[in-house]
Structure 1
Amino acid sequence: MAKRLSLFERRRRRVRSALRAKSGGRLRLSVHRSGRHIYAQVIDDSRGHTVAAASSLEKGFEGPGGTVDAAARVGRMLAERARNAGVTAVVFDRGGFLFHGRVKALAEAAREGGLEF
């Protein structure tokens, strides 16, 4: 009997397979959003290694972590850490999340911070 996938899982798989086809060997900026926090990391899939990461759970992060402003701060922090690691170009992996709200705010802040995607 075939297992039926949720809409989220179907979206995540569709996005990830499209990224693999079009990435051209670039690193992947992966986003995870929960009800209270947002997490982002730049991943080198060829080595299975996380190059840079940021989240709203980090020490010194003031205010609620589940807001659009918090997502923008995480995007800026991640862009700075990725640039310090020598990364300038990535592909954006939104996972199964829709590109609006906190995910969009994180992406725009990362672009402003110097990441190209």
Structure 2
Amino acid sequence: MQAGPSTVVGPSTFRTGTTLGFQKQSSTLKAGLRRSLWCEAAQATRKERTQRRHQSVRNKVEGRSDRPRLAVYRSNNHIYAQVIDDSIGDTLVAASSLTPEIREKLNGGGGGNKGAAELVGRKIGELCLEQNISTVSFDRGGNVYHGRVKALADAAREAGLGF
């Protein structure tokens, strides 16, 4: 029995002896095949996992006027940070690896590395202190707190921002 697009692959398919084009499979091979089919269906894509983490973080973090939210977005080539007051929906301060001041410090290098993240973190910390913002809630944006996101956060703390 060939498994086609309309064929349901289940335990009864494995008992027939011809599963997915193979003849007389051993029970170990059948179990491994069943396990792999189940695992493929259960796995979420990287984007889905990031979106789930982001929603979990946003349920816990809220930007208020006394403690705005420092939101971080990380793409493959750049990193962005902005301080947001969610009560009025305004962006108070923003910096990214695309701002001219940071780009010239990168000396033509890309903005998708830890060095760029540290520069953005220092810049966002300085801009916040100019606006009399001393503490923020850190929103990692669904990204794991590691690598570039951690480098940005540490640099913002070194610049005097508290969170």
TM-score normalized with structure 2 length: 0.65
Which is helix-richer, 1 or 2? 2
Structure 2: gaps of 5 or more residues: 1-43
1:7 paired residue number: 49
Counterparts of 1:39-78 in structure 2, within 5 Å, are: 39-60=80-101, 61=103, 62=106, 63-78=109-124
Query: Would you identify which runs of 4 or more consecutive aligned residues in structure 1 move more than 3 Å?
Result: 22-25
Contact 1:27 1:44 in 2 (8 A): yes
The one-letter amino acid paired with 2:86 is: D
Tell me the distance in 1 between the aligned counterparts of 2:130 and 2:55.
30
The yes-or-no answer on 1:112 pairing with 2:158 is: yes
Q: Contact conserved, 2:65 with 2:85, CA < 8 A, in 1?
A: no
Q: Distance in 1 between matches of 2:61 and 2:117?
A: 22
Counterparts of 1:78-117 in structure 2 under 5 Å?
Answer: 78-117=124-163
Q: Which has the higher contact order (CA 8 A, sep 6+)?
A: 1
Aligned to 2:78: 37
1:11-58 deviation digits (Å, cap 9, x = unpaired):
0000110113x9795200000000000000000111111111100011
* Rg larger in structure: 2
Alignment gaps of 5+ in structure 1: none
Tell me the residue number matched to 2:8: none
1:80-106 Cα shifts (integer Å, max 9, x gaps): 001101100000000110000000000
Contact 2:67/2:137 (<8 A) preserved: yes
1:43–1:24 CA distance, 2 compared to 1 (3 A): closer
SS at match of 1:54: strand
Give the number of aligned pairs.
Answer: 113
Cα deviation digits, residues 60-80 of structure 1 (max 9, x gap): 313220110110000000000
More strand, by proportion: 1
% identical equivalent positions: 50
With structure 1 as the length reference, what TM-score do the two structures score? 0.89
Change (3 A) 1:90 1:84: same
- Contact kept, 8 Å, 2:82 with 2:92, in 1: the verdict is yes
Conserved 8 A contact 1:23-1:91: no
